[in-house]
Amino acid sequence: MIDPARLHSDLSRLGRETDRLLATVEALSDEELTAPSRCEGWTRADVLGHLASNGRAIPRLIDWATTGQAQTLYASPEARAQEIAGLAALPREELVRQLRSSAAFFAEQGERLGGELAVEEVHLHGKRIPAASVVALRIAEVVVHHHDLGTAWTLEQAEPESLLDALEAAVRTLRAKGAPGLTLATEERDEWVLGDGAVRVAAGRAHLLAWLARGDAEHVEADGPLPALPSW
């Protein structure tokens, strides 16, 4: 069982980040949805299709945590891509409805983590994820992909703990993909060491996340050449 206070806090924060995302989305016109996003090869509609799909896929990790039976988010990479493309092709109003519906579904399913857990850890793409961090994983998805829409909203507007969730998700991904040696430090006094920690990279949480997630190095400081990072 996850500490009830933590679960309530995480789900409440997810709700606030989702509300901010939806406010941004509601302001986008049909034409703006077809514009490129910060995700290479994806339009804004593709990003929203991914988030709508993701809100129904991640709860399979909750199924795993509560039943002990291993789950995959999608039957195959092709099935994932097909589902995202289908959602992205929907009329604007239906795409937004699907986004809202999947967010509500995830919030409902997240409450199940307050019960007895069959396992304390689940796996995703080679990453070990504590069951207690599944809600934080969805928060990271919402925050990073809100940034990917490339609107007036910025990562600095996310809540500090949400940025920390996203940074921890980024670090798990980089470790799983064999990222080069890095020591990552934030102005908020967070620190992670990857590999031999050879290159120290420092910034505020928002700016460090922008580099790790999308390669924006404008506001980071390093004591050596910045290495190329594996893609998310």
What pLDDT digit, counting tens, does each position of 6-15 carry?
999 999 999 9
Q: How many domains does the chain have?
A: 2
The verdict on residue 120 lying in a domain is yes
Q: What CATH number is associated with residue 116?
A: 1.20.120.450
Burial per residue of 77-113, b for 16 or more beta-carbon CB atoms within 10 angstroms, e otherwise: eeebeebbeebbebebeebbebbbebbeebbebbebb
9 and 105 share one domain: yes
Indicate the average pLDDT of the chain: 96
Instruction: Please state, in angstroms and rounded to a whole number, the distance separating the CA atoms of residues 191 and 205.
Output: 11
144 and 96 share one domain: yes
Q: Is the dihedral of CA 142, 162, 193, 130 positive or negative?
A: negative
Above 90 in pLDDT, residue 47? yes
- The answer to whether residues 206 and 156 touch, using CB atoms and an 8 Å cutoff, is yes
Above 90 in pLDDT, residue 232? no
193 and 144 share one domain: no
Model confidence at 231, pLDDT cuts 50, 70, 90, reads confident
pLDDT at residue number 98: 98
Above 80 in pLDDT, residue 165? yes
185 and 121 share one domain: no
Full residue range of the structural domain in which residue 47 is found? 4-153
Above 80 in pLDDT, residue 209? yes
β-strand partners of 184: 192, 201
Instruction: Please state, in angstroms and rounded to a whole number, the distance separating the CA atoms of residues 201 and 65.
Output: 34
45 and 10 share one domain: yes
The verdict on residue 162 lying in a domain is no
